[in-house]
Amino acid sequence: MVNLPPMLKHRGFPSRLPGTDFQFTIRRANLKPTRIEKKPRLADRKLVLLEADANFLACLWDAFGAEPFERGNLDAGRLNALFEREVVPVDDPFDPLSYEAILRIDEAVARANFPQVFNR
């Protein structure tokens, strides 16, 4: 039997963007979690990707607000789109391969980059 790393499941957190295949959570832990890292945000991104980012940020804000939260089963791809901008590490040193890594929303940056999330 394989021992998987511990992973908090955020109960009640939406699993995906409705009507799309953009995942917000994962079902089970992997032996090697996907690295959390800053990905470039290209100016010519598709509108649906921007919608997925905004919706994911809105779900994070609704679930955690400005409080720190554990990465847990949150999808690395969605986190990477916001990482080191709207979502920042709390841990020092930060382990980008840990399901137990602590993150938080940088509210000032999030409000500047995604005002629609906070004006709904």
Is 86 among the domain residues? yes
The size of the chain, in residues, is 120
Is 54 among the domain residues? yes
Is 33 among the domain residues? no
Question: What is the model's pTM?
Answer: 0.92
* Burial class of residue 117 in the structure, from the number of CB atoms within 10 Å of its CB (0-12 exposed, 13-18 middle, 19+ buried): buried
pLDDT for 51-75, tens place per residue? 999 999 999 999 999 999 999 999 9
- pLDDT for the residue numbered 4: 77
- pLDDT for the residue numbered 102: 97
Measured at the CA of 93, the angle between CA 87 and CA 95, to 5 degrees, comes to: 65
Is 42 among the domain residues? no
Is 94 among the domain residues? yes
- pLDDT for the residue numbered 83: 98
Sheet with 102-105: list strands edge to edge: 69-70, 102-105, 87-89
| Number of domains forming the structure of the chain | 1
- Separation between Cα atoms, residue 36 and residue 57, nearest integer Å: 16
DSSP 53-113: HHHHHHHHHHHHTTS-EE-TTB-HHHHHHHBTTTEEE-SSS--TT-TT-EEEE-HHHHHHH
Is 21 among the domain residues? no
Is 39 among the domain residues? no
pLDDT tens, residue order, the chain (120 aa) = 567 778 999 999 999 988 888 999 999 998 889 999 999 888 888 888 999 999 999 999 999 999 999 999 999 999 999 999 999 999 999 999 999 999 999 999 999 999 999 987
Is 15 among the domain residues? no
Domain that holds residue 97: 47-118
